[in-house]
Chain A
């Protein structure tokens, strides 16, 4: 019998190891799996490579993971956002590595990773600094740059509802990177606002099919990053 439900976020992230590559869903606070990130801070894994569009804000969630010295390298498209000070400060002092990737290339590299495609050509970034040193090739008279797939050891994502088998639906623009991240990790760990019986989600509406999901934690009233930032919260 398939059993993916874990009792706690702590149990679900217990085996994330030092040096792991971790995909973390969310675009700003929308879709950020903040309870899973906080559990990862408690768990203590270090030297992580983290993939996220941003670098968190304030001193909670992803920003706190970075601030607590757990992240050696960020792969992201936009490391500066409102209330984002932790990463820019470490970067300016040469204390953290950054691989800057155009947002669509980032999404496509993860999608390719999950689909077994090792690399692909794209027009994005041709003629810019971000294409320097990369293979270029012409197709139909236009120049394209070779980009490699991204895969990871773990994905931490958030969804609105997960059923017992691991089928997922998301909430509005909180969906963002999570469906592609779920496909590209060895182990995909989900925090769900609601955990429901198999059959309660409409099969035509399922966004992430169960095959991509390994572990589920029910978090019925998740923290909102912006509330914590507004309150000046710090984790731990």
Chain B
């Protein structure tokens, strides 16, 4: 990891990956998006068998190979070198996306630019007219996987909330996110609201609400505060 100045409190990226991994049940078939979700693979608790799918055509993706043993024809959806576990299988793209679109993937973990309180996800385009848009498999995954977990920093690099009442960036899918893991907290997206599941140890509720662009619901309590203004 980098040793760059880290003024942020809350969970680290590895902490977030560990939290997600802890919530993946034994026997699950899981697809991990590019970026922060990729590190979930390193944190599956001992004794739990989780099979990772990568949409370019591998079920049973293993960790990165040792230096010098990379195979350019054995990569993941992020085009990084990976390995295949004992019992892995290879298949073509239409079969791979049938696994996704046919509802066979139990959990997909994706990054986000914005998530709304309705579970709408924006993670593929910033809407710039002259930049080539790129979508990859994100729209297939959100439409087809049984559950969508989002792993993200709570705020953008410029400090704006990523959890909002309504997304303003182009949608990847509507009402698709069921759980959000950030450096500040974990939420269920339920009944059109962000329900707090767990707060990072050094974050207080006011800080959380101030950095969230939608009202936070605490199950069993009234809302923690009114939505921070965007």
Contact = CB atoms under 8 A, between A and B. Distances in A.
Interface stretch (B66-74, B155-163, B196-204): B66-74
Contact of B93 (A80, A122, A180): A180
Interface size class of A (residues with CB under 8 A): 35 or more
B173 A27 contact: no
Contact of B135 (A102, A174, A224): A102
B131 A92 contact: yes
A58 interface: no
28 contacts: A28-B75, A28-B79, A30-B79, A78-B135, A78-B136, A81-B79, A88-B132, A92-B130, A101-B135, A102-B138, A103-B93, A103-B140, A104-B96, A104-B140, A107-B92, A124-B140, A124-B143, A124-B144, A125-B143, A127-B173, A172-B73, A173-B75, A175-B91, A175-B92, A176-B93, A177-B92, A180-B93, A207-B92
Interface in A174-196: 174-180
A101 B140 CA distance: 10
A180 B92 contact: yes
Interface in A42-60: 53
A119 to B, nearest CB: 16
A82 interface: yes
A128 interface: yes
Contacts of B131: 88, 91-92
Contact of B134 (A31, A79, A108): A79
Interface of B: 54-58, 71-76, 79, 84, 90-94, 96-97, 100-101, 125, 130-140, 143-144, 170-174
Contact of A102 (B72, B84, B96, B137): B137
A173 B58 contact: yes
Interface of A: 27-31, 53, 77-82, 87-88, 91-92, 98, 100-108, 110-111, 122-130, 170-180, 207, 224-226
Contacts of A224: 72
A225 B75 CA distance: 14
A111 B130 CA distance: 31
A127 B171 CA distance: 7
Contacts of A125: 139, 143
Given A31-B73, A102-B135, 18 more contacts: A27-B75, A77-B137, A79-B134, A81-B79, A82-B79, A88-B132, A100-B133, A102-B136, A102-B138, A104-B137, A106-B93, A123-B143, A128-B171, A129-B170, A129-B171, A170-B90, A176-B93, A207-B92
A196 to B, nearest CB: 19
A2 B76 CA distance: 37
Nearest to B56: A27
Contacts of B94: 107-108, 110-111, 179-180
A88 B133 CA distance: 9
A108 B92 contact: no
Nearest to A87: B132
B73 A30 contact: yes
B99 to A, nearest CB: 10
Given A124-B144, A176-B56, A130 B135 contact: yes
A199 to B, nearest CB: 23
Given A28-B79, A98-B132, A102-B139, A172 B101 contact: no
B93 A172 contact: no
Contact of A77 (B57, B136, B143): B136
Contacts of A87: 132
A98 B134 CA distance: 10
A135 to B, nearest CB: 17
Nearest to B99: A104
Given A77-B137, A88-B131, A173 B97 contact: no
Contacts of A104: 55, 93, 96-97, 100-101, 137, 139-140, 144
Contacts of B138: 102
Contacts of B139: 102, 104-105, 124-125, 128, 130
